[in-house]
Chain A
Amino acid sequence: MTQGGTTQPMEPSTAAPTSSGEPLVVVQDLVKYYPIFSGLFKRHIGDVRAVDGVSFVINKGEVFGLVGESGCGKSTLGRTLLRLLPQTSGSATISGEDIFAKRGKDLKQLRRRMQIIFQDPVGSLNPRMPVSDIIGEGLLAQADGTNQWKNRKTRDERVGEYLEVVGLRRDYARRYPHEFSGGQRQRIGIARALALSPDFVVCDEPVSALDVSIQSQILNLLLDLRREFGLTYLFIAHNLSVVQYISDRVGVMYLGKIAEMAPVERLYADPRHPYTVALLSAIPDADPRRRKRRLVLKGDVPSPANPPSGCRFHTRCWLRTQLGDPEICSTEEPALRDLGGEQFTACHFAERINPELIKVAAAGQSLVDTSDASDDAEPVSAAAPSA
């Protein structure tokens, strides 16, 4: 949000999801399948389509938030980007360099540029290593002729510096992870990620395992560090308030695909995908006296091993119900369309969404049960024949 330019609406752009600013990370049609094997001979019987054709651009200095329910593929996406998981297909570049083409020495070089901060502050730090080794390990692994990191003293010096950068004391380097609180451990994880001076950091739900009081500290630390070191974040989370606070642009993921992508203010003010609308209506209100009508989604997320045909969201879509179940939703997969103002939405009926309709849908779904809901919706669907 502090970054100028990136969040301001631009003139209607071309079909590819782009935005203003200098692109740092460009992801094109990224696909990651987990094969399913079965039987004695381990026959390949299918795939879990964790990430199924995702494209986006992250600009230099920007925080790109990625939200979605558990299991929608957002963490897989982050880890695939960092070469922690092998990709199935697609491409990704950082400053024009092909991330997936690197091997051996080149890959190791590349790793300096992209780092990760994990969700679990306990599992992400080796319990048998002192903090000095945890943070210094990357330096040791990356030691070469251009730096002095082979030398323990140089390394420890740098470890101390980064401990202070993340708000910890230098002498904590001698301690072991179990001697720290959750927030402190997360700071250690951040120091480890930053010690190699990366440009790009994947934050994989970095605050969801923390106390609410600690969450804001860590978020603010991340924002401070971005300013100080000119970092670019891919911020993965399922907490919409957190994403709203920290992100410049946000992508909403559903079942391995991006449903909607827009600058943060725009996405929260004027969501154009029924899934985004439902997510936003689920944000808890700080004022308990205010009764909020929620758009409650029915059923569970379908299995990513066998995603629904057409639009992946159509099995749970309230908008489709309101529109009288148009056929196109289950037959044709909606492309990510440019709605102007850097907003991209993968919905056939994105233009139909308006506050009035949302209110009707919310009322229909939360006040009366589903059988009545379609009756209530009748006037709307009759007034809006399929486009």
Chain B
Amino acid sequence: MTTEHRAPGGGTIEDIVAVPDNEVALESLSQWQLARRRFRKHRLALIGLFIFGFMVFLAVFGPLIVPFNPMFLPGAIKAGGDQPSLAHLFGTDANGRDVFAMTINGARISVAVGLFSMIIAGVAGVTVGAVAGYFGGWVDNVLMRVVDVLFAIPFLFIILVSSRFFGKGDVLSLVLIFGLLSWPLIARLVRASFLSLREADFVDAARAVGVGDRRIAFRHILPNALGPVIVAMTLLMASNIVLESFVSFLNFGISETQISWGNALANAQGALSFGDWWWAFFPGMAIALTVIAVNFVGDGLRDALDPRSRE
């Protein structure tokens, strides 16, 4: 990949820009290629992407590789479980279940909840925020009051009520609720950026040459508003993964018949006080690693999409 976009002579992108006479090299670099190139220069983002990719891989294939049934208690029920050993890399819990298998299988629900709730929040938040900020006036007023109302409703209350309503352990409803409850944050961010950017001279310039509303909103304003939004979305995904574990911990999220990282943590409730650190440590580490990885990716994305950033 890398060599394809190199200038003849193996220069970096800086060399290409500095030697604009090289039409051939310039022709081969689109905006996206430049962005990809900048992303690849971002070491932490690459590490983050690798870790996150691994988590997604576990989410998809983990259960096939290391099967685990939370309802199956393989015997050897023993208070405190077993310490990590060669037989059980991450130890076992009081019911004799393998923590390693729990951690790997928990990825599916945790990653799905985080990823899909982020996508829902992102799409809804960007759309609502862009419309409110671009058009302003009564449209803005109505949309922002809806946002205010959503902010005012206690998060937990909705989750508790809906978990009774939809039935506990419905992952899809959890994703929907998380997504629908977290878009207002994105919407406010996007709206604020739109409000200031729509006054920018380059927007006026675009209008002066006859560019339409939609293109101005999506080609001129949105790309310039995206930096903080991307960071906010990665933070949101991280916090939704944590939230899922929290809700499951309170027994309102995923049922005991399923396994997620949050569920595994809930299962470790009280274990720490007996010194059985491994029950909580490994699922907790999985959550922390994913969250950090996603944040790094967000950081890298923000920088890569900004043509002003230096490598």
Q: Which positions in A face B, CB cutoff 8 Å? A: 79, 82, 84, 107-108, 111-112, 114-116, 118-120, 123-130, 134, 137-138, 141-142, 169, 171-172, 174-176, 178-179, 189, 192-193, 196
The verdict on B202 contacting chain A, using a C-beta distance below 8 Å, is yes
User: B145: CB under 8 A from chain A?
Assistant: no
Q: 11 additional contacts, CB 8 Å, given A126-B220, A128-B224, A128-B306?
A: A84-B207, A118-B205, A123-B202, A124-B201, A125-B202, A126-B224, A127-B307, A128-B307, A141-B210, A171-B26, A175-B20
CA distance A130 to B215 in the complex (A): 16
Of B209, B219, B224, B307, the contact of A142 (CB 8 Å cutoff) = B209
Determine if B308 and A176 form an interchain contact, defined as CB atoms under 8 angstroms apart.
yes
B210-A112 in contact (CB<8A): yes
Q: Which residue of B lies closest to A42 (CB)?
A: B141
| Chain A residue, CB-CB nearest to B305 | A128
**Complex contacts, B212 vs chain A, CB 8 Å:** 141
Whole-angstrom distance between the alpha carbons of A193 and B210 in the complex? 12
Which residues of chain B from 261 to 281 have a CB within 8 Å of any chain A CB? Answer: none
- Residue ID in chain A nearest B26 by CB atoms: A174
Contact indicator B209/A128 (Cβ below 8 Å): no
Q: What residue of chain A has the Cβ atom nearest to residue B220's Cβ?
A: A126
The answer to whether B223 has its CB under 8 Å from any CB of chain A is yes
B237 to chain A, nearest CB (A): 24
B304 smallest CB distance to A (angstroms): 12
Considering only CB atoms, which chain B residue lies closest to A109 in the complex? Answer: B210
In the complex, A179→B307 CA distance in Å?
10
Whole-angstrom distance from the CB of A167 to the nearest CB of chain B? 16
- What sequence of 0s and 1s flags, for each residue 1-38 of chain B, a beta carbon within 8 Å of any chain A beta carbon? 00000000000000001001101001001010000000
Assess whether B210 is in contact with A111, with CB atoms less than 8 Å apart. yes
* Residue from B21, B31, B201, B210 within 8 A of A138 (CB atoms): B210
Interface string of B206-234 (1 = CB under 8 A from A): 11111110010001100110000000000
Q: Are A124 and B202 in contact (CB under 8 A)?
A: yes
A141 near B205 (CB under 8 angstroms)?
no
B161 at the interface (CB under 8 A from A): no
Which of B21, B201, B306 is A118 in contact with, Cβ under 8 Å? B201
Q: How far is the CA of A69 from the CA of B17 in the complex (A)?
A: 42
Contact A179 B210 (CB under 8 A): no
Closest chain-B Cβ to A15's Cβ sits at a distance in Å of: 34
B148 close to A (CB within 8 Å): no
CA distance A148 to B31 in the complex (A): 24
Which A residues are CB-close (under 8 A) to B208? 82, 84, 111, 114-116, 193
A128 near B17 with CB under 8 A, answer no
Residue of B17, B20, B202, B224 with highest tally of chain A CB at under 10 A: B202
Quick one: which of A119, A174, A179 has the most chain B CB within 10 A? A174
Chain B residues contacting A174 (CB-CB under 8 Å) are 20, 26, 29
Given that A115-B208, A141-B210 are known contacts, is A175 also in contact with B201, CB under 8 Å in the complex?
no
Residues of chain B within 8 A of A79, CB atoms compared: 204
Give, as a whole number of angstroms, the nearest-CB distance from B136 to chain A: 13
Cα distance, A344 to B201, chains bound together (Å): 33
Interface size band for B: 20 to 34
Docked pose: A128 CA to B206 CA in angstroms: 14
CB <8 Å contact, B210 and A116? no
Q: Which A residues lie within 8 Å of B20 (CB)?
A: 169, 171-172, 174-175
Contacts A123-B200, A124-B202, A171-B26 given: A179-B209 contact, CB under 8 Å?
no
Interface residues of B in 285-311 (CB under 8 A from A): 305-308
| Given known A84-B204, A192-B205, contact A176–B307 (CB-CB < 8 A) | yes
Report the nearest B residue to A85, measured CB to CB. Answer: B204
The 19 listed contacts between A and B (C-beta, < 8 Å) are: A107-B210, A111-B210, A116-B204, A116-B205, A118-B201, A123-B200, A123-B201, A123-B202, A124-B205, A128-B307, A129-B220, A137-B209, A141-B206, A141-B209, A141-B210, A172-B20, A174-B26, A175-B17, A192-B209
> Given A127-B224, A174-B20, A141 and B211 touching (CB < 8 A)?
yes
In the docked arrangement, what's the CA distance between A138 and B206, Å?
7
Would you give the shortest CB distance from A42 to chain B, in whole angstroms?
9
Residue of B nearest to A196 (CB): B209
**Distance in angstroms between the alpha carbons of A381 and B160 in the assembled complex:** 84
Nearest Cβ in chain A — how far from B31, in angstroms?
7
> Is A138's CB under 8 angstroms from B209's CB?
yes
Q: Are the C-beta atoms of B23 and A171 separated by less than 8 Å?
A: yes
Assembled-state Cα–Cα distance A84/B307 (Å): 28
Write out the residue numbers on chain A whose beta carbons fall within 8 Å of the beta carbon of B17: 175, 179
Q: Measured between alpha carbons, how far is A124 from B209 in the docked complex, in Å?
A: 13
Q: A171-B21, A174-B20, A178-B307 are in contact. Are A126 and B209 (CB under 8 A)?
A: no
**CA A146 – CA B280 in complex, angstroms?**
70
For B209, list chain A residues within 8 Å (CB).
Answer: 111, 115, 137-138, 141-142, 192, 196
Contacts of A107 in B (CB 8 A): 210
Residues of B within 8 A of A126 (CB): 202, 206, 220, 223-224
A235 to chain B: closest CB distance in Å? 17
